[in-house]
Structures are given as structure tokens and as C-alpha cells.
Amino acid sequence: MTTPTRQQRHVKVHRLLYSRTVKDKHHRHFDQRVDEPVPWIRLQGKWLAKAGFAIDTPVTVKVSEGCLILTTE
């Protein structure tokens, strides 16, 4: 027996810290490491494969205000 695929999933936008180095223009030995928070969304699960997103499949992300559309290439 197969479970019907749900058409909608709920995930949360998390915070991920990107580390980068900020160069000091006046003192080259005083570079500073800065952790910058960025939004992060994680998608995982067998439902992705059932929806056509198999492992190693290239994905295109179309971006608009408040909307991300993922399609396989």
C-alpha cells in the first residue's frame, strides 16, 4: 500500500553563520573574522525523490518576492 503524497510541506527558515574575513585597510596584520547570519532552508526526505528530485539531480531555483520555485533540469 502506498501513502498518498502530500502536496504541501511546512519548513522553517533557520539562521546559518557565514564566516568571512574583513581586511583592515590601515593595518594588514589586523584582519578581523566576522560571522554574518544568513537565512537557511533545509529540505530532505523520501518525498523529494517521489516528487522527482533524486540524489544528484540538478535543480533550478526561481526567485521572486516571498516565493521560491524549485524545478529539476
pLDDT at 5 (0 to 100): 58
Q: Is 2 domain-assigned? A: no
Domain range for 19 is 13-72
Please check whether residue 4 lies inside any domain of the structure: no
Element (H, E) at 62: strand 59-64
Q: Per-residue pLDDT averaged across 25-50, rounded?
A: 87
pTM (whole model) above 0.75: no
User: Considering the domain boundaries, does residue 48 fall inside one?
Assistant: yes
3-state secondary structure of 55: coil
Number of domains within the chain: 1
In order of 6, 18, 40, 42, 53, the CA distances from 33 in angstroms are 43, 10, 21, 26, 37
Distance separating alpha carbons of residues 47 and 55, to the nearest angstrom = 12
Residue 59 lies in a domain: yes
Q: Look at residue 64 in the predicted model and tell me its pLDDT.
A: 97
Give 23's pLDDT tier (boundaries 50, 70, 90): confident
Give the mean model confidence (pLDDT) for residues 42-69. 96
